[in-house]
Amino acid sequence: MLKIYFTELENAKTHSEEFARCVLGKNLNVDGESILIYRNEFGKPFLKDHPYIHFNISHTKGAIVCAVSDEPVGVDIERVKRFNKCIVERFFTQNEQNYIFASNENVAERFIEIWTKKEAYVKWVGKGMQEIPFASFDVLQMSIPKLRVIKKREYLISVCTYIPDSNVHQIQMKEICWE
């Protein structure tokens, strides 16, 4: 099971944990405010009181996404925007660079796809990009865990889980109008 909750709002950074609390409250049938969110030494959030529920949060300017699952999950969201080519050259593998610059069309979208997949993978592991340097793994050659990308208006959301394609029906995307 994997549920991906998405919302658009101002001050996403300020409200991301509050949003996660609301989403988790719905899933656990408890008051979200009563949920205690802990973080590991690299900042990955977890629920000590509900060890069978895994979740992950990501925000970008104007939007928040929270993924809830019964197994480890990493999620990342970014708005498709112009990017610094030097980041690709320094922090992405040659294979990823070739993919991004394969043509002039939709370059920014392919960059954000690779970026969010890398972030989602690092967050799935539960460490930071300092511990798992971006250039040390290639998201285009990764089959387990599975990395999926979802387009939501001008945003791309990448999710990393063990859920295989045969169980893709277990993935639900929900948009919440949340204030």
User: Peptide bond preceding 145: is omega within 30 degrees of 0, i.e. cis?
Assistant: yes
Does 39 interact with other proteins (rule: CB under 8 A)?
no
Instruction: Work out how close the CB of 154 gets to other proteins at its nearest, in angstroms, rounded to a whole number.
Output: 14
What is the size of the binding site for other proteins (CB under 8 A)? 20
β-pairing, 2-8 with 74-79?
unpaired
Pick the closer one to other proteins by CB: 73 or 120: 120
Instruction: Work out how close the CB of 127 gets to other proteins at its nearest, in angstroms, rounded to a whole number.
Output: 11
Whole-angstrom Cα distance, residue 63 to residue 78?
9
Q: Residue 152: phi, psi to the nearest 5?
A: -130, 105
Contact code string over 65-94 relative to other proteins, x by CB under 8 A: -------------x--x-xx-xx--xx---
Pick from 2, 4, 12, 147: which binds other proteins (CB under 8 A)? 12
Whole-angstrom Cα distance, residue 132 to residue 127?
7
Whole-angstrom Cα distance, residue 74 to residue 151?
16
Summarize as ranges the residues that interact with other proteins (CB under 8 A).
Answer: 11-14, 60-61, 78, 81, 83-84, 86-87, 90-91, 115, 119, 128-130, 134
